[in-house]
Structure 1
Amino acid sequence: MDFNDKVVLITGASSGIGAATAIHFSKLSASLALVGRKENNLKRIALYCEKAKGIKPLTIVADVTDDSALERIVTETINNFGKIDVLINNAGVIAMGGLKTSDVDTYDKVMAVNMRAVFQLTKLFTQHLVESKGCIVNVSSILSTKVTTQSLAYSLSKAALDQFTKCVALELAPDGVRVNSVNPSYVKTNLLKDIGLTDDQLDLYTQNFVSKTPLKKLVEGDEVASLIAFLASDKAKSITGTCAAIDAGKSLS
């Protein structure tokens, strides 16, 4: 696969799956627009990406829950590159708790990042993607369909994201724009640290998760990045509206 002369925008690119995806696309010669809240991390990832093929990414420090920031993301990307070919909606947050132990503020916070921002940013980029006959890849989760009592708001946001993927894929298909999602199981990133888990708690959670996963392994960030790149490539030109699980068999257990 080669993304030479392709402009790829990735939200949540300063860490985790987003950073792994940025690095993977840099090795495929993509021109990158990297969006994240943590400026130092974003610059570090951008520098790493530039070393791959000598192509300097555009970095945009922005909070995707801010509508004016979303408009700025679009403006800066188009002004810098003149187009966009691939939009990767990766930015996300998680919150633990079910109906009894969480509240509507938690719900609003999770939905604002995981769904509202995706809706708005995608809408703002739609005409540009139609012009380039581009594609969209959303980063969802197997928790969109796998039932749990531990993260209700997160599961709801990802279920909504899957439906968004399918509906928008159907709407934009006549325009030549493909829309898919990747649905990983737990990937060891800072996502759970950000909600307060200690290193010991994270290690215990990881060990327990792996023991109950059929392939007895975690999904790696670069594996998710490879699947995203495939779905964004011409090799997947007949694939749209798909929610592709990458979970080491976790959905089966």
Structure 2
Amino acid sequence: MSTPLLSLRREGLRGVITGAGSGIGRACLDLFLAHGARVDAWDRSPDALADLSGQGNIATRVVDITDAESVATAASEATESWGGIDFVVNCAGAFLVGPLAEVPVDAVRKVFDVNVLGTTVVTQALLPALVASQGAIVNVASSVALKATPSNSHYAASKAAVAHLTRCWALELGPQGVRVNAVAPGPTTTTIYQSAGMSAEQESTLLRERAATIPLRRVGEPVETARWIARFALEDDWTTGTVLPIDGGMSL
């Protein structure tokens, strides 16, 4: 079944989506392009972006969002290429699961480097262009940022930081006309679990167990989150500081 388009006031907006090679980021990319947006698609994996080369209204860049120099270069090139930036969607993320007694310190550092530092570095680099266009920032938090979890506390803490950065940046940037919102997806069928080193069986077990605790009794699909991200980035001019649960009722 085809995805209905939003009733947009503006078309041809220019922006950056990180983590655009897979999962929620790829769903955002497809939806934004369908709405006539012009998108700089960033991902750390060149293979994830390989099928996008040569498509109209899209540029691809291999970017490690934890590398400030790489991000600054990509941001400058994107802004110059499109003649400005109207939105940034911070989809790139890292997942971590495990009890406190066993979780490796290096893994904790990585998840904060990607989820918190990476989101900050990307937003900083694109901020002058976003202020100039009075644009929109959309961050991807998580339902576990809103509801405590015993199984992946450090991932939850990193996403709680993203949620609160969203609120703080909304206060800071609102007077400059920049809107900052976040979505907080529940368990969703993406490649983030495999990237965290989980086997297919471990991923299936995790999603099945989480689905059993969700009022709607299922996990989400990437496009279900992408639709709300599109609203914040392309359509809405009045909402800021919101962290929206998209989780089948899990955060209840």
TM-score bracket, normalised by the shorter chain, equals over 0.9
Q: Give the length in aligned residue pairs.
A: 245
CA distance in 1, matches of 2:142, 2:104: 22
Q: Structure 1, residues 215-246: CA drift from partner, whole Å, max 9, x if none?
A: 11221101101000011133x22110000000
Q: What stretches of structure 1 of length at least 5 have no aligned partner?
A: none
The equivalent residue for 1:230 is 231
CA distance in 2 between partners of 1:151 and 1:92 (Å): 14
Shift in Å at residue 45 of structure 1?
Answer: 4.3
Q: Check the 8 A contact 1:106/1:153 in 2, yes or no.
A: no
Distance in 2 (CA, whole Å) between partners of 1:166 and 1:9 is 21
CA distance in 1, matches of 2:173, 2:251: 29
What pairs with 1:45-60 in structure 2 (closer than 5 Å)?
Answer: 45=52, 50=55, 55-60=56-61
Residue 104 of structure 1, CA deviation: 2.8
Measured on the aligned residues, the alpha-carbon RMSD in Å equals 1.5
Q: Distance in 1 between matches of 2:245 and 2:238?
A: 18
> What residue number does 2:32 align with?
25
Distance 1:190 1:242 in 2: 26
Whether the 8 Å contact between 1:4 and 1:31 is mirrored in structure 2 is: no
Partner of 1:239: 239
TM norm structure 1: 0.92
Q: Is the 8 A contact 1:19 1:45 kept in 2?
A: no
Contact 2:37/2:57 (<8 A) preserved: no
Report if the CA contact (8 A) 2:52-2:60 is conserved. no
**For residue 5 of structure 1, what is the aligned residue in structure 2?**
12
One-letter amino acid of the structure 1 residue matched with residue 249 of structure 2: G
- Following superposition, the deviation at residue 46 of structure 1 comes to 5.4
- Give distance in 1, aligned partners of 2:52 and 2:183: 22
Determine whether 1:189 maps to 2:190.
Answer: yes
Q: CA deviation at 1:247?
A: 0.2
Q: Deviations over 1:194-230 (max 9, x none)?
A: 2232223322322222222111122110110100001
Give distance in 1, aligned partners of 2:251 and 2:132: 37
Which residue of 2 is the match for residue 133 of structure 1? Answer: 134
Deviations 1:42-95 (A, max 9, x none): 132456xx3xxxx33110101111111111121110121110001001100011
What percentage of aligned pairs have identical amino acids?
Answer: 34
CA distance in structure 2 between the partners assigned to 1:200 and 1:107 by the alignment: 23
Show structure 2 runs of 5+ residues with no match. 1-6
Equivalent residue for 2:4? none
Aligned partner of 2:44: which letter?
Answer: R
Decide whether aligned partners of structure 1 residues 88 and 107 sit closer, same or farther in structure 2, where only a CA change above 3 A counts.
same
| 8 Å Cα contact 1:9/1:34 also seen in 2 | yes
Indicate the residue corresponding to 2:157 in structure 1. 156
- TM-score between both structures, scaled by the size of structure 2: 0.92
Counterpart Cα distance in 2 of 1:124 and 1:219: 31
